[in-house]
Amino acid sequence: MLNEDSKLVLVVDDEPRMINFIRMNLELERFRVVSASNGLDAVRMVREMLPDCVLLDVMMPGMDGFETLKMIREESNVPVIMLTARSEEDDIVRGLSLGADDYITKPFSPRELAMRIRAVIRRAELPATLEKAPIRIDDRLSIDFERREVIVDGKPVRLRPTEWRLLYHLVQNAGWVMPHETLLSKVWGWEYRDETHYLRLYITYLRQKIEKDPSHPQYILTERGLGYRFVDFRNKREPSSSAKAQQQS
């Protein structure tokens, strides 16, 4: 039985049959579903209805899914899953780089779709046990997880929900190597523990936003073949010479 506590999903697709198929299956999974048939209506509904997740078709006439995603990201961090009939890596990377949280290729199973929706909604929320006080990494970087604020060189930097979760787990385990599988499970969910390309992309996004020189990172270090390590700012330990040589991913 659906109620106001059921998560609200906005489905954006120009094919009525696809919308009806998704609606029927998601309502069986206890989601509430609303729909839009074009990008402009989708942006308006995101603004007015505040959905918990958006399913966004890539191939739409007029304004396609990529352009729609750009407009959504100008005003909302709502989790977005791209629906695509193509599995080319360039399209996938383009969607993720524009701010999509996940993608799923048509045709897909209703069970997989529901799983991915729950996963992106779950990781849009930071863990309940947050650091209450702002964390000062060094003179140029400070982080306030409770208020979701990152200050770099005195200026605020905007992070997307997935970037926040990734940064949170790296910082909370500063000085320790976080294996790829561990980060993927904690940030994306256990279902994604083999999706290493997600992790590489979002490490790149974080470095571009917080590092002085992303090609020679000082905060998020690569431990080749193992995972990633955030500098141990609490003990001010410097990375070893071998670690410095492995900082680039």
> Which domains can be identified in the chain, with CATH numbers?
8-123 (3.40.50.2300), 135-245 (1.10.10.10)
Tens-digit pLDDT profile for residues 21-71: 999 999 999 999 999 999 999 999 999 998 999 999 998 888 999 999 999
Q: Which is it for strands 141-144 and 135-136: parallel, antiparallel or unpaired?
A: antiparallel
What's the CA gap between 99 and 30, in Å, rounded?
A: 26
> What SS3 class is residue 142?
strand
Report pLDDT for 67. Answer: 94
Q: What is the pLDDT of residue 44?
A: 94
Name the residue with tokens 């049959």.
Answer: 17
According to the model, what pLDDT value does residue 131 have? 58
Q: Which pLDDT score is estimated for 128? A: 55
**What residues in the chain have per-residue pLDDT under 50?**
237-249
Q: Residue 229: helix, strand or coil by DSSP?
A: strand
**What was the pLDDT predicted at 198?**
85
